[in-house]
DNA sequence: CGGTGCCTTGATTTTCATCAACACCTGTGG
DNA sequence: CCACAGGTGTTGATGAAAATCAAGGCACCG
């Protein structure tokens, strides 16, 4: 296996304060892997053996209910740690992680977690920060699900994806990975039918454009209004 | 101010691996405070100056939407850290914490957070564990809100409270702090009317008993069935 | 060129929020 | 001691939002 380049990590928050040598050490213990779209990095309920860092692509974190319904809990952008619940003292993964688009990730055995925290300055702090952000996002989602109507939730979900992963095109902001109506339904706790109706309506009004599995937000400000952020 | 007794902390996870002297150090820097029922420990959006440990009572973590609706995000049981988001790199509190029952908590200035992590063995690990558990709970709530009908959500909320704070009585498990129908509505994203109807129905069926602001679960197994955990 | 996955749209039904009215308990102050 | 106010809880009637049921179309892949 060829050596990984150190520049992969130096810019990223969890490792930004480390020396070249330290980054080298960390990289030498990592296993890089490519995940084609749809491939699972790990599955809910399986023994939690590794934690990961996403270098490129997008990871979708999914939970399945006993009844077989799926809920998309989170999207992980490049540069973030994921699958770190094991590092928090769990012995199985609490959710499934699948590649939402072709992805590249590093993985480390979970036994290194303690080392990373004690040896590398800033790693703990930055990890707390990441988790804090994630907790915040969950809190927001709970609040949304509990208080807002479907239309607002869908608008918020689109905006979140556009912000996290959007690419500017001449038509507007295109979401950076393939999304189906069913995906959006699983993010917002509704059905693909309702999502389809909403997107059709928004397309008629010129707020979004959508091709098969690709969505472009053409009028973000109007979506913001629909999402209820305004008062 | 009289010195706090060291036995307050020795049993608790974040401090369990520390020596007597270390516990003493930590206690000497803490400010203890009593919060009567309904009092706020801190408020959403205010500068995050301290983090806390609940010694006794119950803390309710509440978020308010721009429209003024409230959502109860979490209940904190004794022995847990709370208000630690500032320690994760935020400068304001993301939610409000109020005492759900008369409570006693210690508080430390947030600048000590770094010290605690570097100086005290096990503190970081245990904190990650706590946060991991909390993330897990949020994930569960999101899943519930997204997929389950109101009746199931209310059943789950009651069970969660009974598990976290229940006291065994001869009638059944009594929830350890006062709860109104409106509170349950704010936990489950419904209205107090719907909650009232459900509780009335369950009371007729002998699943719960309720007096003003006190709820006792008399047939937990039947609630579990209603919550949909069974298959 | 057939099949599967993705998307759309209409009709019907269900769940739950909303509107409305009232009853009860508890503590407070006259 | 009693009246009464405010917080709490109940229950019925109505309506709207969104799920479910149903059917079909289109595009991409092998």
Coil, strand, or helix at residue B105?
strand
Alpha-carbon span B197 to B181, nearest angstrom: 10
pLDDT exceeds 80 at position B50: yes
Chain B residues within an 8 Å CB radius of A231: 66-67
pLDDT exceeds 70 at position B46: yes
Return the closest-CA partner of residue B84 out of B32, B128, B28. Answer: B128
pLDDT exceeds 70 at position B230: no
Mean confidence (pLDDT) of chain A: 93
What is the mean predicted confidence (pLDDT) over A17-26? 91
- The pLDDT score that the predictor gives to residue B131 is 93
Task: Answer for the pair A83, A93: CB distance below 8 angstroms, yes or no.
Answer: yes
Alpha-carbon span A24 to A18, nearest angstrom: 10
Lookup: tokens for A209? 């454009």
- The pLDDT score that the predictor gives to residue B2 is 63
Alpha-carbon span A230 to A219, nearest angstrom: 15
What is the mean predicted confidence (pLDDT) over A68-94? 93
Q: Which of B69, B124, B143 sits opposite A147 (nearest CB)?
A: B69
What is the mean predicted confidence (pLDDT) over B186-203? 97
Interatomic distance B99 CA / D5 C1' (Å):
25
Alpha-carbon span A42 to A90, nearest angstrom: 14
Q: Using one digit for the tens of pLDDT, what is the confidence trace for B119-130?
A: 987 899 989 999
State residue B126 phi and psi, 5-degree precision. -70, -35
pLDDT band, residue B11 (cuts 50/70/90): confident
Q: Using one digit for the tens of pLDDT, what is the confidence trace for B165-178?
A: 999 999 999 999 99
Measured in angstroms, the CA of B89 and the nearest CA of chain A are apart by: 6
Give the rounded distance of the alpha carbon of A2 from its chain centre: 28
Interatomic distance A104 CA / D28 C1' (Å):
26
Share of chain B above pLDDT 90, in %: 84
pLDDT exceeds 70 at position A167: yes
- The pLDDT score that the predictor gives to residue A1 is 53
pLDDT exceeds 60 at position B56: yes
Mutate to test the interface with B, among A88, A113, A136 (most CBs of B within 10 A): A88
N-terminal to C-terminal alpha carbon distance within chain B: 56
Alpha-carbon span A182 to B139, nearest angstrom: 20
What is the mean predicted confidence (pLDDT) over B21-33? 94
Strand partners, B216: B174, B209
B231 touches chain A (CB under 8 A): yes
Chain A residues within an 8 Å CB radius of B142: 71, 73, 138, 141-142, 145
- The pLDDT score that the predictor gives to residue A58 is 96
B131 touches chain A (CB under 8 A): yes
Q: Using one digit for the tens of pLDDT, what is the confidence trace for B67-110?
A: 889 999 999 999 999 999 888 889 999 999 999 999 999 999 99
Interatomic distance A194 CA / C8 C1' (Å):
11
pLDDT band, residue A122 (cuts 50/70/90): confident
What is each CA distance from B39 to A27, B22, B31, in whole angstroms? 50, 31, 17
Measured in angstroms, the CA of A205 and the nearest CA of chain B are apart by: 26
Q: Using one digit for the tens of pLDDT, what is the confidence trace for A179-219?
A: 999 999 999 999 999 999 999 999 999 999 999 999 999 99
pLDDT exceeds 90 at position A97: yes
- List all nucleotides in chain D with at least one atom under 7 A from a protein Cβ: 8-13, 17-22, 27-28
Strand C neighbours (CB under 7 Å) are: A 180-182, 192-193, 196-197, 199-200, 203, 210, 212-213; B 149-151, 189-191, 193-194, 212
pLDDT exceeds 70 at position A112: yes
pLDDT exceeds 80 at position A231: no
Helices (H), chain A: 7-10, 20-29, 112-119, 123-147, 150-165, 181-188, 192-204, 220-227
- The pLDDT score that the predictor gives to residue A71 is 96
What is the mean predicted confidence (pLDDT) over A56-70? 93
- The pLDDT score that the predictor gives to residue A230 is 58
Chain A residues within an 8 Å CB radius of B227: none
B47 touches chain A (CB under 8 A): no
Q: Which nucleotide is nearest to B212 (CA to C1')?
A: D8
Alpha-carbon span B121 to A130, nearest angstrom: 22
- The pLDDT score that the predictor gives to residue B122 is 85
Chain A residues within an 8 Å CB radius of B63: 139, 143
- The pLDDT score that the predictor gives to residue A67 is 87
A88 touches chain B (CB under 8 A): yes
What is the mean predicted confidence (pLDDT) over B29-35? 95
Q: Which of B65, B89, B145 sits opposite A129 (nearest CB)?
A: B89
Alpha-carbon span B18 to B53, nearest angstrom: 16
Coil, strand, or helix at residue B171?
coil
Measured in angstroms, the CA of A90 and the nearest CA of chain B are apart by: 8
Q: Which of B71, B90, B133 sits opposite A143 (nearest CB)?
A: B71
- Buried b or exposed e, range B132-161, using 16+ CB within 10 angstroms: bebbebbbebbbbbbbbebbbbbbbbbbbb
pLDDT exceeds 80 at position B51: yes
Strand partners, A40: A98
Task: Answer for the pair A140, A149: CB distance below 8 angstroms, yes or no.
Answer: no
State residue A227 phi and psi, 5-degree precision. -70, -10
Return the nearest residue to D26, CA–C1': A212
- The pLDDT score that the predictor gives to residue B1 is 54
């Amino acid at each position: 296996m060829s050596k990984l380049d150190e520049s992969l990590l130096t810019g990223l928050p969890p490792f930004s304060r480390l020396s070249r040598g330290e980054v080298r050490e960390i990289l030498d213990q990592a296993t890089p892997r490519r995940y084609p779209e749809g491939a699972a990095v790990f599955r809910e309920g399986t023994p939690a053996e590794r934690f990961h860092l996403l270098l490129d692509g997008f990871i979708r974190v999914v939970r399945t209910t006993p009844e077989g319904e799926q809920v998309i809990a989170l999207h992980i952008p490049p540069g973030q740690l994921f699958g770190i619940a094991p590092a928090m003292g769990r012995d199985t993964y609490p959710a499934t992680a699948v590649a939402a688009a072709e992805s590249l990730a590093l993985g480390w055995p979970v036994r290194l977690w303690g080392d990373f925290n004690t040896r590398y300055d800033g790693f703990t702090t930055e990890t707390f920060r990441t988790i804090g952000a994630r907790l915040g996002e969950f809190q927001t989602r709970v609040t949304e699900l509990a208080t807002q109507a479907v239309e607002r939730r869908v608008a918020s979900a689109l905006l979140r994806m556009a912000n996290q992963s959007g690419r500017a095109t001449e038509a507007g902001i295109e979401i950076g990975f393939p999304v189906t109506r069913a995906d959006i339904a699983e993010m917002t706790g509704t059905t693909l039918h309702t999502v389809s109706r909403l997107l059709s309506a928004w397309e008629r009004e010129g707020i979004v454009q959508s091709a098969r599995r690709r969505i472009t937000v053409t009028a973000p400000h109007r979506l913001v209004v629909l999402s209820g952020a305004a008062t």
